[in-house]
Amino acid sequence: MPGNSFGNIFKITTWGESHGKALGVVIDGCPAGLKISEKDIQLELDRRMPGQSKYTTQRKETDKVEILSGLFNGVTTGTPISMLIPNVDAISKSYENFKDIYRPGHADLSYDEKYGIRDYRGGGRSSNRETVGRVAAGAIAKKLLKAMKIKTFGFVQQIGNIKCEKININYIEKNSLRIADKGKFDEMANLIDSVRKSGDSIGGVIEVRSTGMPAGLGSPVFEKLDARLSSAIMGIGGVRGFEIGLGFQVASMKGSEVNDIMVGKSKGKVKFRTNNAGGILGGISNGNDLILRFALKPSSSISQKQDSIDNKGKQKKLQVKGRHDPCLCPRAVPIAEAMVNLVLLDCILENNLSTVKKIT
């Protein structure tokens, strides 16, 4: 089963299943000399952890990370870094009913079609629990990027049809929905509450921005920065749409409205009047902030009765009981930030090999 590794130089491989003994990640290609502690990693894992509020799953995973290798006296040695996160709150018997029945919207059917065998407990490898490894690796990338003054943050931009109209960065981590507009909290929280009470779920949109971006990240043509970011984000379970800058809005606009006009240079960086391109031109960063958005579907696990079929094709009724996220958005923010940080760091490490000047 290939497809579990991500990145070219800072290469991560995640492993583990939702209800297995543990999950984790191996990072190959982390530069030596970085001071890292389990506390640095834990900070990010805690932001992703289940059970943070009534708007997320009530599963009580502690997600405590253990670093097994790659450090000496708290400093990276350039050897593979291995991190382990045990599973402590898996209730596998809730999934017994679905071992032969395909839950609508889940990967059950396609995994069975491809492999002929699947770990039905909690979705196995298709579960969002797999992303603990990505978030753990992303925490290391974040620390390296911080030293280069690159900062990535995400927020929930939309839940259902309700959109944030203001962006207050300081408010994001102070509210359980991770929205950026305080004025929309009650409306959005009530919407999630009402869908949860009716045994349903709701979708939304997340925006991610990176500031302090250098120009020159990303490569022509198949390794464009936007292509790599979309692969990173679309690889998160439940993502259904991705856009950079103005994204789908450009379809109804004129060139004169969309073009970002360059107005001068300051501290070696080109200044633009606008940032409609989201910081990328020709697949390469232009020094402007990176701006991307993605749409998340409503969780497929809903407690309403649904029709489905079993693995013999026989019609069945099913009801997915258990502890699920009524809206995926709040917990997806740190996962998306981690994926963006992994891409940016990988591009920076590649740039160090891009010209003779940099290696002589």
Using CB under 6 A as the binding rule, the residues of this chain from 251 to 310 that contact ligand FMN are 297, 299-301
Strands (E) located in the chain: 5-6, 11-16, 22-28, 66-69, 71-72, 75-76, 81-86, 151-159, 162-163, 204-211, 239-244, 262-266, 269-272, 280-281, 284-285, 290-296, 305-309, 315-319
* 125 scored as a contact of ligand FMN (CB under 6 A): no
Cβ closest to ligand FMN, residue 25 vs residue 67: 25
Q: How far is the CB of 13 from ligand FMN (least distance, A)?
A: 18
SS3 122: helix
- Copy the structure tokens of residue 51: 């059970």
Could you tell me which stretch among 221-229, 235-243, 266-274, 284-292 binds ligand FMN (CB under 6 A)? 235-243
Give the residue, chosen from 238, 278, 279, 287, that forms a contact with ligand FMN under the rule CB under 6 A: 238
**Per-residue DSSP letter, 31:** P
Told to check if 57 binds ligand FMN by CB under 6 A, we report yes
What three-state secondary structure class fits 182?
Answer: helix
Segment lying near ligand FMN (by CB under 6 A), choices 67-75, 188-196, 320-328, 352-360: 320-328
What is Dmax (Cα atoms) for the chain? Answer: 67
Answer yes or no whether residue 325 interacts with ligand FMN by CB under 6 A: yes
Q: Could you give the count of Cα atoms lying within 13 Å of 35 in the half-sphere of its Cβ?
A: 2
Residue 245 burial (10 A CB sphere; 0-12, 13-18, 19+): buried
Residue 231 is which amino acid? S
Q: Is 154 in the site for ligand FMN (CB under 6 A)?
A: no
Nearer to ligand FMN, 64 or 297 (CB): 297
Rounded to the nearest whole angstrom, what is the least distance from the CB of residue 306 to ligand FMN in the complex? Answer: 12
Binding flag, residue 337, ligand FMN (CB under 6 A): no
Q: Binding to ligand FMN by residue 126, rule CB under 6 A?
A: yes
Shortest distance (Å) from residue 144 CB to ligand FMN:
24
Q: Which stretch binds ligand FMN (CB under 6 A): 2-10, 25-33, 284-292, 329-337?
A: 329-337
- Separation between Cα atoms, residue 7 and residue 29, nearest integer Å: 10
Instruction: State the nearest-atom distance from the C-beta of 32 to ligand FMN, in Å.
Output: 32
Burial of 122 (0-12, 13-18, 19+ CB in 10 A): buried
Q: With binding defined as CB under 6 A, does residue 236 bind ligand FMN?
A: yes
Q: Looking at the chain, how many residues does it have?
A: 360
Do 42 and 35 form a contact (C-beta atoms < 8 A)?
A: no
Task: Tell the smallest beta-carbon distance from residue 200 to ligand FMN (Å).
Answer: 12
Instruction: Provide the binding-site residues for ligand FMN, judged by CB under 6 A.
Output: 57, 106-107, 126-128, 236-238, 297, 299-301, 324-325, 328, 331-332, 335
